[in-house]
Chains A and B, each alone.
Chain A
């Protein structure tokens, strides 16, 4: 891992990290590079974006804009030759007693990160055909995640008590006395459940896995749990992956192009499921997509990315009604829409730049119709141009056209 040097420092000796209590994730000035033979790919160049508790945030942009790298940086899954070079990823963690602690995910130890990854922050990847392990049953794969991250002793004890109570209803005479004394003993352990055996844990985890499959509305979940990934259709596999990601009640779920490989009617099912589950589980979601339709349909906040920079960040309604960055407005005009017919689409000239030699100044300037000399020399600052509407641009458009 790239962060080994810093990961050994004691987090207690660090100064107290400050974070807005409404936020759950605060990414500041994140820089990630990839060191390839051809040169250094500056994949993320100072990404700043926030996720509020309970929000659905979209990271939207074209191929190579850094959406997936942002997600991988959050999960600390950037592999060699990539490296997170700078920045902070502050995460509001909750201890068991409910106190909130702010942690910088880039500074904590790998052990600590492993407790967060898959547990408090989990991710669903794009291609449901490649992600579930093909040689294990769906249910076992979900159960494994549960076993690794959750303490099931209380669930197992409660299950035993429930079984005893059922038995008590049927029992008579001496047996009933025995059962009730055993029951009292078990109830006494509730405050401090004993360590269950491996077999008990496996059984309980499997039962929870079926519960999770039910929650994602998998038809006949108990049977599906015993099937292998290739026996499921694309949509069902994606549901299974979502069940796996949600099985530890994560606080943040990252969906990296989770519906891109699916047909529209199935995509609609999965998107609705995600938003329904968000309310049930009290989680926050980051949706990574290139489809502005998906953004409009499901997200509350949007960050538009271009060439490793968040060029515009605001709430969804605002973004679609008043896009301020020329790239955003260009993108919105470039998509064919079902709701209107135009003779010709407005196109953005040129192509996405090579990030080994990104354009100087504003990275969008070679394709921007409003670009001036300032744009090619100086990178525009990240500015709150309207309340809650952050833009990086020297020549804002939309309602702010002509302001500068």
Chain B
């Protein structure tokens, strides 16, 4: 093991979903949702996982928790391979890992009161019962900004932001070390999103949590994360310990970053418009998966799959020409912001 600071180590993780067809429902192909990704998550950090719909970010998050079995690859949690664990061991380990889903209404049982929903993990694991359970639930609810009046209410009585708080309380009930956040704020409004993000940052400090933060929203990921991994068609194309907005080295990350509308009219028109859309993960392009949409693509890109290479300081890029390319949007941006500064 490289370092004792590593909480989770993912090695060559793959998740293929078989497609069946024909009269005998034979397997005719695979959706390569996650195709050979490797990365580490350090203790206490937030790793952001960003990408467009269908890039495999959610599948990656669920496979890491073994909520769906991996097709191949290894996942080490504090040195133990989750994929090879027995059910009993996994059950014990599950206390340390938790997940918060995108849609809080769908992930709360409408017939359970908040007290029962948040208390269930404590009860199932035999940690507390009766009066003690109630007090522990109350303490959790207070941590996420809810109060005693909320204990006996049902999910439908809450607003979207409050429901997400309940989900956070439930996820933290067993004092996990690691929490996967799968698009936790994408169904909430801006003002509520700020409240939820602030809460999650506070809780991370208080409970010494490690987050895998999955989102399609680059601005939110940047705000929350220490390091950011960009996924495209089942592969990690870039993993940066620094600011993805400043330092993107992969042409896809650069285009993605430039396409995000920034709430500042002086930065208008810096978007590099990518042609076409994300291809199907059933028949991904050969070589570098981004090459059909990449303006720098050469013949080599369509033949050879680029490896994730360390470009210094742990900045990993999967591009044959990483560091050699002039990702022009940056210049445009600099010109604009300089002009704005002068004016």
Contact mask B281-315 → A, CB, 8 Å, 1/0? 00000000000000000000000000000000000
- Range of interface residues on chain B? 35 or more
Q: Which residues of B contact A337 (CB under 8 A)?
A: 219, 223, 262-264
Closest Cβ of chain B: how far from A62's Cβ, in Å?
A: 4
Q: Tell me, in angstroms, the Cα distance from A336 to B194 when the chains sit together.
A: 8
B159 touches A346 (CB 8 A): no
Q: Which residues of A contact B191 (CB under 8 A)?
A: 62, 330-331, 334, 347-348, 351-352
A297 touches B262 (CB 8 A): yes
A233 touches B277 (CB 8 A): yes
User: Is B216 in contact with chain A by the CB < 8 A criterion?
Assistant: yes
Q: Tell me, in angstroms, the Cα distance from A292 to B189 when the chains sit together.
A: 12
User: Is A291 in contact with chain B by the CB < 8 A criterion?
Assistant: yes
Identify which of A268, A291, A320 contacts B265 (C-beta below 8 A): A320
> Can you name the residue of chain A whose Cβ is closest to the Cβ of B159?
A351
B260 touches A63 (CB 8 A): no
Q: Tell me, in angstroms, the Cα distance from A403 to B204 when the chains sit together.
A: 41
Q: Which residues of A contact B261 (CB under 8 A)?
A: 264, 267-268, 271, 291, 293-298
User: Is A31 in contact with chain B by the CB < 8 A criterion?
Assistant: no
Closest Cβ of chain B: how far from A304's Cβ, in Å?
A: 12
User: Is A404 in contact with chain B by the CB < 8 A criterion?
Assistant: no
B194 touches A272 (CB 8 A): no
> Do A62 and B262 form a contact, CB below 8 Å, given A297-B271, A336-B197, A344-B201?
no
B278 touches A342 (CB 8 A): no
Q: Tell me, in angstroms, the Cα distance from A399 to B211 when the chains sit together.
A: 40
Q: Tell me, in angstroms, the Cα distance from A352 to B160 when the chains sit together.
A: 11
Q: Which residues of B contact A348 (CB under 8 A)?
A: 191, 194
User: Is A199 in contact with chain B by the CB < 8 A criterion?
Assistant: no
User: Is B83 in contact with chain A by the CB < 8 A criterion?
Assistant: no
Identify which of A62, A235, A271, A336 contacts B189 (C-beta below 8 A): A62
A265 touches B274 (CB 8 A): yes
A263 touches B216 (CB 8 A): yes
Closest Cβ of chain B: how far from A331's Cβ, in Å?
A: 6
A296 touches B273 (CB 8 A): no
Q: Which residues of A contact B267 (CB under 8 A)?
A: 296, 339
Identify which of A264, A271, A298, A316 contacts B256 (C-beta below 8 A): A264
> Can you name the residue of chain A whose Cβ is closest to the Cβ of B270?
A297
A346 touches B194 (CB 8 A): yes
A265 touches B219 (CB 8 A): no
Q: Tell me, in angstroms, the Cα distance from A1 to B306 when the chains sit together.
A: 61
> Do A296 and B190 form a contact, CB below 8 Å, given A264-B52, A342-B223, A344-B198?
no
Q: Tell me, in angstroms, the Cα distance from A233 to B52 when the chains sit together.
A: 14
Identify which of A234, A292, A347, A352 contacts B263 (C-beta below 8 A): A292
Identify which of A264, A291, A347 contacts B194 (C-beta below 8 A): A347
Identify which of A62, A264, A267, A344 contacts B190 (C-beta below 8 A): A62
Closest Cβ of chain B: how far from A258's Cβ, in Å?
A: 13
> Do A272 and B271 form a contact, CB below 8 Å, given A344-B201, A347-B194?
yes
Q: Which residues of B contact A335 (CB under 8 A)?
A: 190, 193-194, 219, 263
B194 touches A296 (CB 8 A): no
A338 touches B245 (CB 8 A): yes
Q: Which residues of B contact A338 (CB under 8 A)?
A: 218-219, 222, 245, 257, 260, 262
> Can you name the residue of chain B whose Cβ is closest to the Cβ of A302?
B265
B256 touches A347 (CB 8 A): no
B198 touches A347 (CB 8 A): yes
Closest Cβ of chain B: how far from A257's Cβ, in Å?
A: 13
Q: Which residues of A contact B266 (CB under 8 A)?
A: 317
User: Is A400 in contact with chain B by the CB < 8 A criterion?
Assistant: no
Q: Which residues of B contact A235 (CB under 8 A)?
A: 277
> Can you name the residue of chain B whose Cβ is closest to the Cβ of A269?
B273
Q: Which residues of A contact B222 (CB under 8 A)?
A: 336, 338, 341
B259 touches A264 (CB 8 A): yes
A334 touches B273 (CB 8 A): no
Q: Tell me, in angstroms, the Cα distance from A346 to B191 when the chains sit together.
A: 9
Q: Tell me, in angstroms, the Cα distance from A208 to B252 when the chains sit together.
A: 36
A347 touches B195 (CB 8 A): yes
Q: Which residues of B contact A236 (CB under 8 A)?
A: 277
Q: List 16 A-B contacts (CB under 8 A).
A: A62-B189, A63-B189, A236-B277, A263-B216, A265-B52, A292-B190, A316-B265, A320-B263, A336-B197, A337-B219, A337-B223, A339-B267, A346-B194, A347-B194, A347-B195, A351-B192
Nearest 5 Cβ contacts at the A-B interface? A293-B261, A336-B223, A334-B194, A263-B52, A62-B189
